[in-house]
A and B are shown apart, each in its own frame.
Chain A
Amino acid sequence: SAVISQKPSRDICQRGTSLTIQCQVDSQVTMMFWYRQQPGQSLTLIATANQGSEATYESGFVIDKFPISRPNLTFSTLTVSNMSPEDSSIYLCSVRRQGEGWNYGYTFGSGTRLTVV
Chain B
Amino acid sequence: GENVEQHPSTLSVQEGDSAVIKCTYSDSASNYFPWYKQELGKGPQLIIDIRSNVGEKKDQRIAVTLNKTAKHFSLHITETQPEDSAVYFCAARSTGTASKLTFGTGTRLQVTL
User: Which secondary structure dominates where chain B touches chain A?
Assistant: strand
- Tell me the bound Cα distance from A42 to B42 in angstroms: 14
Number of residue pairs A-B, CB distance < 8 angstroms:
49
Cβ contact within 8 Å between A45 and B100: yes
Interface size class of B (residues with CB under 8 A): 20 to 34
Given known contacts A33-B100, A96-B99, A109 and B43 CB-to-CB distance under 8 angstroms? yes
- Tell me the bound Cα distance from A26 to B89 in angstroms: 25
Of A64-72, A79-87, A100-108, the stretch lying at the interface with chain B is: A100-108
User: Which secondary structure dominates where chain A touches chain B?
Assistant: strand
Q: What residues of B have a CB within 8 angstroms of the CB of A106 in the complex? A: 34, 46, 101
State which of A6, A41, A104, A110 has its C-beta within 8 Å of the C-beta of B49.
A104
**Contacts beyond the supplied A1-B46, A42-B106, A108-B43: 7 A-B pairs with Cβ under 8 Å:** A31-B99, A41-B105, A43-B44, A43-B89, A104-B93, A105-B46, A111-B42
Which residues from chain B sit less than 8 Å from chain A, CB to CB?
Answer: 32, 34, 36, 41-46, 49, 51, 89, 93, 98-106
Sort A-B residue pairs by CB-CB distance and give the 8 closest, nearest first: A108-B43, A110-B43, A43-B103, A108-B44, A111-B43, A42-B103, A42-B105, A42-B106
